[in-house]
Amino acid sequence: MAAGLWLVGAMTFAEAQTSSSPQRSFTQQERLDMAETLTRQFPALTVTSVDAPIIRGDADPLIFKITPSGRPQFGELFASEQYQFRYYPTDTFAFGAYFCRLAQEFVRERRQQNARFLVPQFSPGGSVGAGGIDIPVQNAAELLTSIFYVALYLWDFALDENYGQFRLLVRGFADQSDSFSRPVQAGSPRALAYLPTLSPPMLVYDRQPTVRPVGTSYSNADLPELRADFVKSILDAFLSSCQLQASLVPASQVLQGAVLPRRNPQFRTFEIFFYSYR
């Protein structure tokens, strides 16, 4: 694999972060190679090296966009006018612990294959088997697991060049729809916190979040942030259960999304950005 997935095996995680090796930025080709490799390895996803969005004030961040590949075998995650996936985990933390255990095994296997794989080992905060997880969407479990694996690969990739800070950013979308008003679904947040877009729109975001209360009903205009917040809850369950620390922020953030100007089920989707900076 191109740059990434190696550092001196004897180097501890803390030592890697304080290493005096000269900093450099990945070349565009190295970024493209990593994105192409991950897209081939995880067919449920498309991974792209991008230059935006940028949080105002950050200089030269390393950004990868992670999106569902849209291949039919992985199902449509959001139904029309809905913001939760076509499943409902009865225990969000158990749900996160299940995927964390898969990720723990993934890291163990990577280290057996490559002693220079840098991502630190971690332990799930609980024990859960697949039998307690209800995911009726066809192959959605593979898509979600792939997201976590890709995040771990990119974490290691960025650590290889001493990027010290990492965030997971989520942005949701909706397609055009007839006017509707639906009651909010069980488990919905009482307020939505998201980074608002600045100028140019959808490319630059403010560092200070906007907080918007969630009422008793929602409309199509609310779906982008509601969908992103739902994906955030899954990411945060994983991060919390895995007790990931060090430089990976233990919670994700929502970016202001958009209603796209066409009626198309493919627009009922989300993007995750692996966002690294020094």
Residue 182: predicted pLDDT: 93
Q: What is the mean pLDDT of each run of 10 residues along the chain (278 residues)?
A: 26 32 73 92 92 91 90 68 70 64 71 58 43 49 81 81 82 92 86 94 95 93 94 82 59 92 88 90
Residue 93: predicted pLDDT: 55
Residue 163: predicted pLDDT: 77
3-state helix, strand, coil in the chain (%, to 5): 35, 20, 45
Q: Please list, in sequence order, all residues whose beta carbon lies within 8 angstroms of the beta carbon of residue 37, skipping any fewer than 6 positions away.
A: 1, 2
Residue 247: predicted pLDDT: 52
The distance between the two most distant Cα atoms of the chain, rounded to a whole number of Å, is 60
Q: Indicate the residue type of 178.
A: D
Q: For the chain, what are the domain ranges? A: 13-277
Q: DSSP letter at 212? A: E
| pTM, 2 dp | 0.80
Q: Please list, in sequence order, all residues whose beta carbon lies within 8 angstroms of the beta carbon of residue 220, skipping any fewer than 6 positions away.
A: 81, 174, 176, 177, 179, 180, 259
Residue 212: predicted pLDDT: 93
